[in-house]
Structure 1
Amino acid sequence: MREALPGWAGGVLTGLQGVLLSYLVVLAPALAAVAGAPSLDGSAAVDWSGAATVATRLWLLGHGVPVPAGDGVVSLVPLGMVLLSGAILASVARRFAVKTWTSWGLAVAAFAGGAGVIAGLATAATDSTTASVLRATTVGALIAAPAVAIGIWRAYGARLEMLDRIPATIRAGLRLGLATLALVLLLAAAAGTAWAVLGMDRVASTATGLAMDPLGAGALALGEVLYVPTLACWMVAWVIGPGFVVGTGSLYAPDTLTEAALPQLPLLGALPSGSGGWWVWAPAVVAALSALAFALLHRRVGRGWAGARAAGTAVAVVAAGLAVLTMVSRGSIGPGALAVAGAEVVPVTIVGTALVAGGYAAVWGAREGWRWLRSRGNDAGRTEDAGRAGEDAVGQGEVSAGGVRPQRSSRLM
């Protein structure tokens, strides 16, 4: 297929297919839900437009466009939608895009333009049309740019020559920082899974209380799955220590739990339901994982000023990553008290960066201390060997010309 199309056409098709397929992922379950409803409740009317509106709003949320909710708005981004759109674009780009800047640029422009068109059509009757189109276009470009590049690199094995110009210490720091962020995310996902298992009864009771038909429940489950990565980012703030809020007056942290009234959604039953005890050691685990990452990559990091630059780069990468994860997972989930959900950027970034830097420093100190002890041991060994060699040299000098070594007297003088 790629060979039969000009390069520019492959780029345009990549972007348009990315928009269409990602939109169908949320539209198809919504339409299936309303299509199955009449057979369950006897109703003859099928609300196709209502299902399409819900799907469109969810898609727009995933591309940065807030949607109205009563007297307020819902602006919390379902990060699963972002990841899904990126994965679709990377897969399509691998098959259709070519290894040219034109193809890449047209793919990004087509996806961003398609997102802007959907936002414009969905908000045509409101006063926020211009702002919605700009937000959807901007976020669409931010999603498409790296996703299409990844797809092209996977297809052609491309390599950016500019990466070779980056000093080795900076590359080592980038590798260490990204590895540390991955371990922190893994810890957050594990903690979130643990709380979800502990809260299975709450999730089940909430889902049962909604009394939804099977297809409607499936559509709701799909929407909640798209918010699971957002919840994982909340858990990053939780394991670091400052915690997060879901509604004004609430706080979910390892050492504090203050709950507020929440919407009846099964996913919210997976939020932490306890605090104190062993949970307060979660920040220490973050520091330990940072130390583990440094220990595994310490040979690449190096020593001296070069190692310090690499470690500093890694700390900066972690700080930037934590700030971004906190910002993209913060927003509103409704009017009134629900206008705030997520974590504060500054506390999470400062505390998380301090924990990571402490973990690095612990391994750095242990490594340098061990090297110092070894060097002291080696110096002592060399001194002892030199002394023995000197005694042997003196003994050899006392050998007579006839080859007979004179006997030393053992009598004390």
Structure 2
Amino acid sequence: MPTPRPESSRLPLFARIRAAIPGWMGGLLTGVQGVVLSYLVVLVPALAAVAGAPSLDGSAAVDWSGATAIATDLWLLGHGVPFVTDQATLSLIPLGLPLVTAGILAAVARRFAVKTWASWALAVAAFAVGAALIGWLGAPDGLRSGPAARAALVGMLIAAPAVAAGIWRAYGARLRILDVIPDPVRAGLRLGLGTLALVIASAAAVGGVWAVLGMDHVSVIATSLRMDPLGAGALAVAETLYVPTMVCWMVAWLVGPGFVVGTGSLYAVDTLTTDALPSVPLLGALPSGSGGWWVWAPVGVVALAALARAMLSRRIGLDWDSAKSAGVAILAVATGLATLTALSRGSAGPGRLADVGAEVVPVTLIGTALVMVGYGLVWGVLAAWRWTRGRMRGDDATVTGPVPLAGVRPDAAAVKDAAAPAR
């Protein structure tokens, strides 16, 4: 008869590893793996590109150090550290990289971190230290402290919610401090974040439409580069990391003010002013038209806000608490629009490319106003429906007993007889 295996041996591999190591060690491993894996996301394509590309002097030597430096600069750029050269400063963040980093941290925390504050804090601290180390090594001599501190700060901002999300997915952890948040505030945050999510998803869909319409332009640019497969793959990875940045641009386009890709250009629903752009295939997916039906695109933001408000009409009514919820939602939308616009704005090169992205103030003000109009429309419809329904119920009410004359009190016995059911 076979000997039964211990209960611990029946657990999945990651569960056995987590059970065998101390809780604090699991948090430390989460942060370290987050740094290493996110760095490999940019390092591996860079090494592959230089390995497959011919050298400029015709020798067989491969510039591994140059590829590593490029990958380090790109990783730091994705974590908020500008890339400074003698000719220009590159500060346009590839927002896909912090999203990938957050996803990696959440996945690793789900398997290694434990449900303790110490494990969470060690994971965040370990990632911040690793980011600071990469910032220190990637910065030029004499200017190491600034990039290291900035990378550590941004790393903490990315790691803190990502690790918490991973622990929550693994253990169902619940923050009791959230219980003190009033219900109107919770409802308002749900409405505001839901509205913002609808706007971002719609902007991504519209950007996808423009990308399909510009497929020929994209293919022409890609063909003109004459890159080998490995180099083309590395470029595709880098461009993919910038797709979320372009989605934020499309939010500004959908709201109305639009965005610029170089000084003197403007991509908006009512205006299209272009100039020469770098030979980057991704830029072929920019909007190639304006006017006509596109000028009605901001009305779509009103419709999305109205949809979000209507979906939460049972939770958010017409009383004073609902008014507070609407105020919280509007504040959440304004904060989200300002943050997205600021993160997707920066410098993409020398000269006119030093100005890329959208203006924060116009996008925030106009976008918030459109959302308020959408909320107001639903509020007005609900109020009118409630008033109409009340009037209809009042008109349909009938008197089943005798109606007394004005100023005469009805006899109690007569009222009792009238209210009694007929035999």
Pair in the same fold by TM > 0.5:
yes
CA distance in structure 2 between the partners assigned to 1:70 and 1:200 by the alignment: 35
Deviation by residue 1:305-362 (Cα, 9 ceiling, x = unmatched): 0110111111111001111111111110011111111111111110000000100000
Find the counterpart in structure 1 of residue 371 from structure 2: 356
Deviation by residue 1:76-123 (Cα, 9 ceiling, x = unmatched): 110100000000000001111111111111111110110110111111
Work out whether 1:345 is the aligned partner of 2:360.
yes
CA offset at residue 70 of structure 1?
4.8
Choose from 287, 290, 296 the match for 1:281.
296
Which residues of structure 2 form unaligned runs of 5+?
1-16, 415-423
Query: Which letter does structure 2 place at the counterpart of 1:247?
Result: G
CA offset at residue 392 of structure 1?
12
CA distance in structure 2 between the partners assigned to 1:63 and 1:128 by the alignment: 17
Q: Secondary structure at the match of 2:18?
A: coil
Query: Which letter does structure 2 place at the counterpart of 1:330?
Result: R
Find the counterpart in structure 1 of residue 232 from structure 2: 217
Query: Which letter does structure 2 place at the counterpart of 1:309?
Result: K
Work out whether 1:29 is the aligned partner of 2:41.
no
CA distance in structure 1 between the partners assigned to 2:370 and 2:112 by the alignment: 44
Find the counterpart in structure 1 of residue 106 from structure 2: 90
Q: Give the conservation status (yes or no) of the 8 Å contact 1:69–1:334.
A: no
Find the counterpart in structure 2 of residue 257 from structure 1: 272
Choose from 96, 112, 123 the match for 2:128.
112
Choose from 162, 184, 189 the match for 1:174.
189
Find the counterpart in structure 2 of residue 193 from structure 1: 208
Q: Give the conservation status (yes or no) of the 8 Å contact 1:14–1:97.
A: yes
CA offset at residue 208 of structure 1?
0.7
Find the counterpart in structure 2 of residue 101 from structure 1: 117
Q: Give the conservation status (yes or no) of the 8 Å contact 1:69–1:335.
A: no
> CA RMSD for the aligned pairs?
1.9
Q: How do residues 48-67 of structure 1 correspond to structure 2 at under 5 angstroms?
A: 48-67=64-83
Choose from 304, 313, 336 the match for 2:319.
304
Counting matched residue pairs gives 391
CA offset at residue 44 of structure 1?
1.2
Structure 1 residues 128, 258: closer, same or farther in 2, change over 3 A?
Answer: farther
Give structure 1 regions of 4+ aligned residues with deviation exceeding 6 angstroms: 391-394
Find the counterpart in structure 1 of residue 351 from structure 2: 336
Q: Secondary structure at the match of 1:3?
A: helix
Deviation by residue 1:210-233 (Cα, 9 ceiling, x = unmatched): 111110000000000000000000
Work out whether 1:365 is the aligned partner of 2:377.
no
Percent identity over paired residues: 65
CA offset at residue 29 of structure 1?
1.3
Choose from 149, 152, 176 the match for 1:161.
176
Work out whether 1:390 is the aligned partner of 2:389.
no
Query: Which letter does structure 2 place at the counterpart of 1:137?
Result: A
Deviation by residue 1:226-258 (Cα, 9 ceiling, x = unmatched): 000000001000000011111111111100111
Structure 1 residues 211, 43: closer, same or farther in 2, change over 3 A?
Answer: farther
Deviation by residue 1:44-92 (Cα, 9 ceiling, x = unmatched): 1211112111111111111111113451111111010000000000000
Find the counterpart in structure 1 of residue 255 from structure 2: 240
Q: How do residues 318-337 of structure 1 correspond to structure 2 at under 5 angstroms?
A: 318-337=333-352
Q: Give the conservation status (yes or no) of the 8 Å contact 1:177–1:314.
A: yes
Query: Which letter does structure 2 place at the counterpart of 1:339?
Result: A
Work out whether 1:79 is the aligned partner of 2:91.
no
CA distance in structure 2 between the partners assigned to 1:216 and 1:119 by the alignment: 26
CA offset at residue 286 of structure 1?
0.4
Query: Which letter does structure 1 place at the counterpart of 2:305?
Result: S
Q: How do residues 197-208 of structure 1 correspond to structure 2 at under 5 angstroms?
A: 197-208=212-223
Find the counterpart in structure 2 of residue 402 from structure 1: none
* TM-score normalised according to structure 1 size: 0.92
Query: Which letter does structure 2 place at the counterpart of 1:180?
Result: T
CA distance in structure 2 between the partners assigned to 1:42 and 1:332 by the alignment: 34
CA distance in structure 2 between the partners assigned to 1:43 and 1:294 by the alignment: 65
Deviation by residue 1:154-173 (Cα, 9 ceiling, x = unmatched): 11101111111111111111
CA distance in structure 1 between the partners assigned to 2:284 and 2:145 by the alignment: 37
Q: How do residues 284-295 of structure 1 correspond to structure 2 at under 5 angstroms?
A: 284-295=299-310
Q: Give the conservation status (yes or no) of the 8 Å contact 1:37–1:43.
A: no
CA offset at residue 389 of structure 1?
4.2
Q: Secondary structure at the match of 1:300?
A: coil
Q: Secondary structure at the match of 2:315?
A: helix
Deviation by residue 1:387-413 (Cα, 9 ceiling, x = unmatched): x6437999xx8xxxxxxxxxxxxxxxx
CA distance in structure 2 between the partners assigned to 1:104 and 1:96 by the alignment: 11
Q: Secondary structure at the match of 2:369?
A: helix
CA distance in structure 1 between the partners assigned to 2:39 and 2:166 by the alignment: 20
Q: Give the conservation status (yes or no) of the 8 Å contact 1:70–1:335.
A: no
CA offset at residue 131 of structure 1?
1.3
Query: Which letter does structure 2 place at the counterpart of 1:106?
Result: L
Find the counterpart in structure 1 of residue 144 from structure 2: 129
